[in-house]
Amino acid sequence: MPHTYFDTLIIGSGLAGLTLALNLAESKKVGLITKQALLDGASGWAQGGIAAALSESDSPEAHIHDTLSAGAGLCNEEVTRSVLEKGPQAIQWLIAQGVLFTRDPGNKTGYHLTREGGHSERRVIHAADTTGQAVQKTLGDKARAHKNITVLEYHIAIDLITSIKLGHSNISSNNCYGAYVLDNQSGKVRTISAQNTVLATGGAGKVYLYTTNPDTATGDGIAMGWRAGCRIANMEFIQFHPTCLYHPHAKSFLITEAVRGEGGILNLPDGKRFMPLHDERADLAPRDIVARGIDFEMKKRGLDCVYLDISHKPALFLKEHFPYIYARCLELGIDITQQPIPVVPAAHYTCGGIVTNLNGKTDLDNLYAIGETAHTGLHGANRLASNSLLECLVFGQAAAEDILNQTPSPTMKLPRWDESRVTDADEEIIISHNWDELRHFMWSYVGIVRTNKRLQRAQHRIKLLHEEISEYYANFRVTSDLLELRNLVDTADLIVQSAMLRHESRGLHFSLDYPDIQHYVKDTILKI
């Protein structure tokens, strides 16, 4: 494969990657790689919306307060203030790009704002219940049409190319020069060099058996950043969304938190409410509390699921506000205007990731991380609903500004990918078996409630898998399945390591061995 050069290489095509690409493209040659089609990532699956203080009754201060409260003491207040104060401007940028949010003539903003768990005000702007899809389609069309953006679909990054990996001992810092990238359609590996490389690959929900994430969420960016020498923070904080549809024919279908924001109530099979027993905010408590409440009731009573009921609302209201959920549930024989929705918690969002500063810069020169791949300090120990897409927008713009202010450095010719000592795999079934084993024991041992013994069991199995996969990687040609499994195992290891280091229960990390919260507050930082 030929050597390819871009001013900026963006790995990942979610909202963070697209925002960055469009903000750079007027003056930079941008390469945007995505391992499936352009719009197949997790951003397009977001239903609820984007949180920002847009109404007269709201303020950035109130948004900051709610975010700090949900984050259980671990949010970086400087970062939180910086991001949330930029919220209204970020929404205006999306509107200027042509995103059609749901209108409300009765609201002075002109748009319908909904409320979600943990929010004290209605501040979530949305496009019905398919906000991510609306945003991604608008920005994706612009990216495809831009002459300075090259979209490489069905390409998966293998590893970053750094000065340490190249053996450049004369360079004082560790620089990133680009990445090796597998073209899934040809099976060949590209060498792509760039002035700046950006990891925007999303989260790692597929490390768990049950998740609201698409199949692309395999922790690729986090694992690549870790292997390249980046610090990783707070990977123990995996957010489990309280309400994923429980149905044998529905895979990873999220029931947005906005359903509870508009009056939905969680009930036991006999119709009895239970969340008031767990928190005074009841069904609108932050996600970590609601997920643990559901998990507690299911285990206590031996239930397969609980029920989310919004059938007391007018049918027309539900069809107008939740058309996607209404239609999908109806396909499965559930009429949400007449009956409750069976739901269970599922892995949803990775609050930790690669440590960055306010511009998205990592520990490596010329390497950035944005979106769910990054740990910015905004989310703390638990992400407040609908802050994630806002973080993508703000850090995509911040990274673009930082890159545009740089003085370009000399380019370097990079060595091509060497596969002279490997052969085609002879037993690819090993990959699928290892993938299944990993996701099952992560769900059982490193889920919503943890213990030291469960974490030790998971760590032991991860060590065995890591050895097996490393041997496989060294001897056979790479495939996308192998690369994703390799990244999942590295990410699982980071989650377990982090969880074992936190001797308290805070936010999304709950340990039966350490049920109390500590007086001191600190991030869990891992470094090779």
| DSSP helix/strand/coil, 117 | coil
Give the length of the chain. Answer: 528
Joined together, the tokens standing for residue 413 give 């010719």
Q: How far is CA 467 from CA 433, 461, 462, 470, 497, in A?
A: 15, 10, 9, 5, 17
Q: How far is CA 422 from CA 1, 30, 117, 206, 434, in A?
A: 17, 32, 51, 28, 21
Sign of the dihedral through C-alpha 210, 213, 219, 222: negative
What are φ and ψ of residue 369, in 5° steps?
A: -140, 130
Q: From the candidates 122, 123, 190, 287, which is the catalytic residue? A: 287
Judge residue 244's burial from the number of C-beta atoms within 10 Å of its C-beta, 0-12 exposed, 13-18 middle, 19 or more buried. buried
DSSP string, 271-314: S-B-GGGT-TTGGGS-HHHHHHHHHHHHHHHT-S-EEEE-TTS-
Can you name the residues that pair with 241 across neighbouring β-strands?
346
Question: In whole angstroms, what is the distance from residue 524 CA to residue 14 CA?
Answer: 27
The residue type at 114: T
Can you name the residues that pair with 439 across neighbouring β-strands?
none
Look up 502 and say whether it is catalytic: no
Q: Which residue has the tokens 């049950």?
A: 210
Question: In whole angstroms, what is the distance from residue 247 CA to residue 489 CA?
Answer: 28
Question: In whole angstroms, what is the distance from residue 372 CA to residue 375 CA?
Answer: 8
- Max Cα–Cα distance, the chain, nearest Å: 70
Judge residue 520's burial from the number of C-beta atoms within 10 Å of its C-beta, 0-12 exposed, 13-18 middle, 19 or more buried. exposed
Enzyme catalytic residues: 287
